[in-house]
Structure 1
Amino acid sequence: MGGINTRRQVELTHEDVHAGEYGTRAQCLPEPWMCEVFHLDGSLRDIRVLDVTRVEWIAVLERLRVVADETEVEHPYPRLDSVRPAFADLFRIWADESEDQGTSFAFRARFGAVWFFALPCDEEEIEFSVWPEDVLDGAGVSAVLRFLVEVATASQRPALLTAEVVRYDPGLRTLLSHDPVTGRTSHI
């Protein structure tokens, strides 16, 4: 499985946590201590991808629609399909609205028993949140790891799990990360 590097991070290989394109099950059951990152302070945890464009957002949402156990979309745009709108259309309409209208859309994806949700408010930062109480055991951590890998892979950028904040700060501690270039998922 993974080894421990000199920075005292546990690294898991991509194959250990990724369910893959062909539906193979994840091979690794995370260590129980990994649940601790979700209960340090009881706040939401955010999964972020930085420095993105609408293209990466759409790629991530389309990928999640395919691989998640269940997805839901809510939006206020009557001219779009109410259940399965095209993400390119959602972003186009959303971006064309004036900022004072305050409308957006919501996207939720379920992996196992864990729900991840996004309320896009910034095209330059993908952000999903997860409730700590949904991540109680190894199966919950596996769901988070799989989600992290799917988001990073679809965006082709590192995905970071952090405590909840309104806007990412480079000084913010990263709890888990996945780099799609190296295929490594790190627990810090």
Structure 2
Amino acid sequence: MRVESTHEDVHVGEHCTRAHCTRARCLPEPWMCDVFHLDGSLRDVRVLDTTRVEWIAVLERLRAAADETEVEHPYPQLDPAHPAVTDLFRIWADDPEGEGTTFSFRARFGTVWFFALPYDEEEIEFSVWPEDVLDGAGVDAVLRFLVEIATASRRRALLTGEVVRYDPGLPTLISHDPATGLTSHI
């Protein structure tokens, strides 16, 4: 069963019942325990059917909205700490010097870090460790991240289990649709 509501209605409360707590974690809702179950694998945040335009829009929005961002790249002609996103993609995708290389981009919302290693332009993928989502504030950070990248790309953002490539049969744990403003979860 899926539950749909506006992002504001999915906001997690600060209460915690003993049934949802472990020693180091306190997730306020049972569905959050299912989504962020500590199973040793990452969770992937995805936007499908994208181009370079959506990637650039997402990374630029994250630079403005996140509490902190970091970029690492192997391109000596670019600023080492804060390269222009359009230049990163130009060298990575178009320049023979960038062929076979990649760069990494990390964004922190609250205490939760999201990281991307772009491999192609057709799918935006960020990963997050479930063990970083310790409480309601951590879940809020994930929800805020989903809203930011969905809004920037103008496409639905999905939180799924970790896989190399998206499979439509894979269950979506949480999603945000910028066209409707609805966030849904399992």
Instruction: Give the TM-score of the pair, scaled to structure 2.
Output: 0.86
| 1:136-158 CA distance string (max 9 Å, x none) | 21111110000001010000000
How do 1:1-188 residues align onto structure 2 when only pairs under 5 Å count? 8-16=1-9, 28-29=11-12, 31-33=28-30, 34-39=32-37, 41-98=39-96, 101-188=99-186
1:35–1:141 contact (8 Å) kept in structure 2? no
2:93–2:99 contact (8 Å) kept in structure 1? no
Please give the alpha-carbon distance, in whole angstroms, between the structure 2 residues aligned to 1:121 and 1:94.
10
Please give the alpha-carbon distance, in whole angstroms, between the structure 1 residues aligned to 2:7 and 2:137.
17
Please state how far the C-alpha of 1:129 moved relative to its aligned partner: 0.1
**Secondary structure at the residue paired with 1:103?**
coil
| 1:101-129 CA distance string (max 9 Å, x none) | 53100000000010000000010000000
The percent of aligned pairs where both chains have the same amino acid is 78
1:45–1:130 contact (8 Å) kept in structure 2? yes
Instruction: Could you tell me which runs of 5 or more consecutive residues in structure 1 were left unpaired when the two chains were aligned.
Output: 1-7, 18-27
Q: Is the deviation greater in 132-141 or in 91-100?
A: 91-100
2:92–2:98 contact (8 Å) kept in structure 1? no
Please give the alpha-carbon distance, in whole angstroms, between the structure 2 residues aligned to 1:117 and 1:87.
15
Please state how far the C-alpha of 1:41 moved relative to its aligned partner: 2.8
Instruction: Could you tell me which runs of 5 or more consecutive residues in structure 2 were left unpaired when the two chains were aligned.
Output: 14-27
| 1:58-93 CA distance string (max 9 Å, x none) | 000000000000000000000001111111110010
Q: Is the deviation greater in 75-84 or in 32-41?
A: 32-41
Match in the other structure for 2:17? none
Please state how far the C-alpha of 1:97 moved relative to its aligned partner: 4.5
**Considering only aligned residues, what root-mean-square deviation do their CA atoms show, in Å?**
1.7
CA gap of 1:64–1:100, structure 2 versus 1, over 3 A, is closer
1:11–1:186 contact (8 Å) kept in structure 2? yes
The letter for the 2-side match of 1:108 is R
